[in-house]
Structure 1
Amino acid sequence: MASSYTMNIVDNIHVSAPAGSVPTTTLPLTYFDIPWFHSAPMQSLFFYEYLHPTSHFMQTTLPIFKHSLSLTLQHFFPLAAKLMCPPPPLKPYILYTDGDSVPLIIAESTADVNHLKANYPRDIKLLHPFVSQLPPSTITSDGIRVLPIMAFKVTVFPNTGICIGMAHNHVAADGSAFMHFVRSWSSVCKSKGDLTFLDDVSRRPFHNRDAIKDPAGCNDVALKGYWHWVSSWRENLGPTKEMSVDRVRATFVLTRDQILKLKQWLGIQCKNNSNNFEELQISAFVVTCSIMWICMIKSQENELGANSYDVDDKFYYFLFAVDCRGRIEFPLPVTYFGNCLAPGIIRAKKGELMGVNGIVAAAKAIAKKVKEMEIGALKEVEKGPSNLEEMFRSGHQYHVGISGSPKLRLYDMDYGWGRPIKIEFIHIDDGGSLSLAESRDEPGGMEVSLVLRENQMDAFTAAFAESLKVF
């Protein structure tokens, strides 16, 4: 059903760290950062209840909101900096200079917040007006491409709510690093500018890139990919691809009780089907990913229908990212700011996943990969390019990726208006990816958002409901 509402831009400003608080700084990029040049910006929406008119926000809330952002940026300065992308054979880097700023758009809308934040399927275009967009890149006189790193758009729904739209370039920060920034900013905002949260050195971001070691020569491989990207970037400046008109977004919730029952059931099934089950941990993450992967495959097979001629030994792939900060030979502090992710890639045959014990096969495969990466994450980084190439060659309908983690505690981000009432990740709109977060409503629950074609979403919903009947 089409929604009718107004959207007005109230203000367009820039926020920078306090003048003179951060010296001119250059940060090199590592092999954890460079591969993300191929990625679209990370875009998220945080919805909050806000029972005040727009005038109250502009006069009372916005000054504190801007001031707290400014104070926080002096510690998280790379997000206000620029990505410098020189041509080959030079290396890319982050450059911060005094006065660098972050764009912040303030808007007002009459849209129905209850509809925007709903879990039921809605057209993906419904949320796009509230999404922040990064400014366009520029080119210096000496041929260096300059990319902005972060931008915000805050939409006020008078007497109802607020939506904070966030966008950032993944090259500068992974989810853990970016949410470290958001958590720090929201804490400073809630305390009306009190920096006590960041007075503790252990809570401040760690920017030393020399801590990243490269025993396997991963940086050389990453740079070759970057040089190809920066040399051909003009070819990628064509019209933005239109999303399919029938794509919808929905959120599925697993309660704590459902997850516990799933873990117990899977534990029994895995023990009956493997002598090595005691070595694997069937966690809430494994349980959630397993059921979502199987439901995605079933919805895809339903859509292909009679046109599907795949044999049972056709491989399906599942991709998740693992935080390497404590899982590599040179452990990094949890506050390391940048990217530090390894790709966990699982493949399993269609016959195994579509069989009667499909969810068991999925759980065993995911749990095994999680266990392997607890001590061997760097090996997965080394093998990442070739493994990802194999996965992408299989075709988009044969691989599923999941982003986010309940460990990020997204629903703890309180700016002083209470916890978020809904969080959405817009960068999954191209389909094939799921976003995972802890449940807002109860500890131990999970919520997963995804985007599919409308008929495929119907099939996914049916498969999800059917899966829960087993318990």
Structure 2
Amino acid sequence: MGGNVAESNEDFDHLYSEVRYASESHPYLAPLSVSDTKASILCFQITLFPNKGFAISYTLNHAVLDGRSISLFMNSWAYICRNLEENVKISPSSLPEELNPSFDRTVIPGSEGLEMRYLDYWLGLKLPGSDANPRSLEPIPFPVPADVVRATFEFSREDIKKLGEREFSRFENGNQTKPFSTFVLAYAYTLVCMVKAKGLKNNTKVKFGLTTDCRPRLNPPLSRNYIGNCVTSCDVLVEAEQLLKETGVGYAAKRLNEMIEGFENGVLEIAKEKVPFMDVEPGVRIILVAGTNRFGKYGADFGWGKPANVEITTIDVGESLSMMESRDESGGVEIGLVLKKHEMEMFASLFVHGLKVLRSSL
């Protein structure tokens, strides 16, 4: 694990302004040390903005750590700092139960050759821009486009409640027997707004999916505080026409529910079926979500209150969105988005107008 300390005279408040260029966050990102043969696990950078505040960034190696792990680490670190007293040491065993990490790998069930299947696939994979050496640990470069902007949108707790009631009521004959989760509703609504804002045609193929935590889905289940990379993913390919209809949000929510329910059949079995898992037809638009509303990103209070802003910069390339809990309202959801400026303007109009109609109609 590495770390840097830096100082900046840039406008601190601008870092969480409503709309700004995505590239403006990158000078404050922690540089992860990676070579052909060696890769760091985690790196931090703390940037001081004199008389204003500071920014903490981290870059992690996703082969070793997942989102739940780093969120647990950040909240534990913040807890220790918040409760720090002179000559008082806080060990992992003295952390609250919800922050006490687990490193026990002996409880993980056998993967029945899954490791070799994935390694063989990666060794044979050739991606544009990748090194000719398939064993190189160097990441594939994905430069951030200069013309994309970042913005944050919020669902209130009441928005989620009314959205769930509307979409649930649209399913006739009991086709949807269980209410949609907050995660599913926020993702489905944002996905539909993105497809419309990008002006996709009816016959455009769209692949959307999610990453899920495998800890509770293994047999036996792992501790939810297990530190490592313990996730799998699933996706579905549809035509944009299904998302552009009036029933698009409900359709997307139902497909997401089906994916989540499919994980109950065994995450290791699904993982076997997903090799190869990066084959995509030309012209397919891939929209994924990073994060969830359950990680407690705004729980990292180091003693000065909640962070003013949290963002996930991996969405700066590709077509993805980020999700986390709302900073100021329990049950609310915060969506991070990076789009071209004209797309962002269209998305903002669709997002705000759709919620305004929803609030007035129920």
TM-score, normalised by the number of residues in structure 2: 0.88
Cα distance change on mapping 1:362 and 1:213 into 2, 3 Å: same
Aligned to 1:291: 189
Question: Which aligned pairs between 1:230-241 and structure 2 lie closer than 5 A?
Answer: 232-233=133-134, 240-241=141-142
Q: Does 1:178 align with 2:76?
A: no
CA contact (8 A) 1:206 1:336 kept: yes
Is 1:187 the equivalent of 2:82?
no
**Is 2:123 the counterpart of 1:211?**
no
1:255 lines up with 2:156 in the alignment: yes
**CA-CA distance at 1:447 after TM superposition:** 0.4
Asked if 2 retains the 8 angstrom alpha-carbon contact of 1:322 and 1:341, the reply is yes
Q: State the shift of 1:197 in Å.
A: 5.7
* Higher deviation after alignment, 317-326 or 104-113: 104-113
Distance 2:271 2:140 in 1: 33
Contact 1:137 1:148 in 2 (8 A): no
Instruction: Kindly provide the CA deviation profile for residues 350-369 of structure 1, in whole angstroms up to 9, marking residues without a partner as x.
Output: 22211121111111111222
- What is the match of residue 198 of structure 1? 93
Instruction: Give the counterpart of 2:281 among 366, 370, 393.
Output: 393
Query: Does structure 2 retain, via aligned residues, the 8 Å contact 1:184–1:198?
Result: no
Instruction: Answer whether contact 1:252 1:448 (CA < 8 A) is retained.
Output: yes
Residue 185 and residue 236 in structure 1: after superposition, are their counterparts in 2 closer, same or farther (change >3 A)?
closer
Whole-Å Cα distance in 1 between the matches of residues 282 and 132 of structure 2?
27
1:370 equivalent to 2:260? Answer: yes
Letter in 2 for 1:109: S
CA contact (8 A) 1:251 1:447 kept: yes
Contact 1:434 1:448 in 2 (8 A): yes
Contact 2:35 2:136 in 1 (8 A): no
Whole-Å Cα distance in 1 between the matches of residues 43 and 136 of structure 2?
25
Distance, in Å, in 2 between the alignment partners of 1:412 and 1:237 is: 32
The residue that corresponds to 1:160 in the other structure is 52
- Which AA in structure 2 matches 1:358? G
Indicate conservation of the 8 Å contact 2:154/2:334, yes or no.
yes
Cα shift at 1:338: 0.9
- SS of residue matched to 1:422: coil
What SS does the corresponding residue of 1:424 show, helix, strand or coil? coil
Is 1:264–2:151 an aligned residue pair? no
- Give the deviation of 1:241 after TM superposition: 5.0
Confirm or deny that 1:321 pairs with 2:216: no
Post-superposition offset of 1:149: 1.4
Q: Deviations over 1:301-339 (max 9, x none)?
A: x2x6xxx5x63xx54221211101011223111122211
Aligned equivalent of 1:338:
228
CA drift of 1:240 comes to 4.8
Q: 1:408 aligns with which of 281, 289, 295?
A: 295
Q: Which amino acid aligns with 1:420?
A: P
In 2, the alpha carbon distance for the partners of 1:149 and 1:340 equals 15
Match of 1:33 in 2: none
Contact 1:216 1:382 in 2 (8 A): no
Are the equivalent residues in 2 in contact too, given 1:124–1:429 (CA < 8 A)?
yes
Using structure 1 for the length normalisation, give the TM-score. Answer: 0.69
- Could you tell me which residue of structure 2 aligns to residue 113 of structure 1? 12
1:129-168 equivalences under 5 Å are: 129-137=27-35, 145-168=37-60
**Structure-2 change in CA distance of 1:365 and 1:410 (3 Å):** same
SS in 2 for 1:195: coil
Contact preservation (8 Å) 1:154, 1:162: yes
In structure 1, the partner of 2:349 is: 462
Structure 1 CA distance for aligned equivalents of residues 143 and 132 of structure 2: 25
Q: Distance in 2 between matches of 1:433 and 1:259?
A: 21
The alignment's C-alpha RMSD in Å is 2.5
- Please name the residue that 1:220 is paired with: 116
Q: Do 1:248 and 1:452's aligned partners in 2 also have CA atoms closer than 8 Å? A: yes
In the TM superposition, residue 216 of structure 1 has moved relative to its aligned partner by 4.4
Of the three residues 321, 329, 335, the one matched with 1:434 is 321
Unaligned runs of 5+ in 1: 1-101, 139-144
Q: Describe the shift of the 1:424–1:215 C-alpha distance in structure 2 as closer, same or farther (beyond 3 A).
A: closer
Shift, 1:446, TM fit: 0.3
Instruction: Give the 3-state SS of the residue equivalent to 1:225 in structure 2.
Output: helix
Partner of 1:380: 270
- 1:67-106 residue pairs with structure 2 within 5 A? 102-106=1-5
Q: Distance in 2 between matches of 1:256 and 1:170?
A: 31
Question: For 2:170 and 2:82, how far apart are their aligned partners in 1?
Answer: 47
In 2, Cα distance between equivalents of 1:428 and 1:380: 25
Query: In 2, distance between residues paired with 1:389 and 1:151?
Result: 27
Structure 2 distance, partners of 1:156, 1:223, is 41
Which string of whole-angstrom CA distances, capped at 9 and with x for unpartnered residues, describes residues 120-170 of structure 1? 2211111111111112426xxxxxx11111111111111211100111111
Pair 1:385–1:262, CA change in 2 (3 A) = same
Residue of structure 1 in register with 2:174 after alignment: 275
* Higher helix proportion: 1
C-alpha separation between the residues in 2 aligned to 1:224 and 1:235? 14
Q: Is the 8 A contact 1:188 1:197 kept in 2?
A: no
Q: Size of the alignment, in residue pairs?
A: 349
Q: Is the 8 A contact 2:92 2:101 kept in 1?
A: no
Q: Distance in 2 between matches of 1:247 and 1:385?
A: 33
Q: What SS does structure 1 have at the residue aligned with 2:75?
A: helix
Kindly indicate whether the alpha-carbon contact (under 8 Å) linking 1:281 and 1:367 is maintained by their aligned counterparts in 2: no
2:325–2:334 CA contact under 8 A, matched in 1: yes
Cα pair 1:187 1:197 within 8 Å, conserved = no
How far has the Cα of 1:243 moved from its partner?
A: 2.5
In structure 2, C-alpha distance between the alignment counterparts of 1:276 and 1:223, rounded to whole Å = 41
Distance 1:443 1:277, change over 3 A: same
Q: Percent identity?
A: 29
> What is the alpha-carbon distance in structure 2 between the residues aligned to residue 135 and residue 370 of structure 1?
35
Deviation (angstroms), 1:239: 9.8
The answer for the alignment partner of 1:350 in structure 2 is 240
TM-aligned CA deviation for residue 228 of structure 1: 4.1
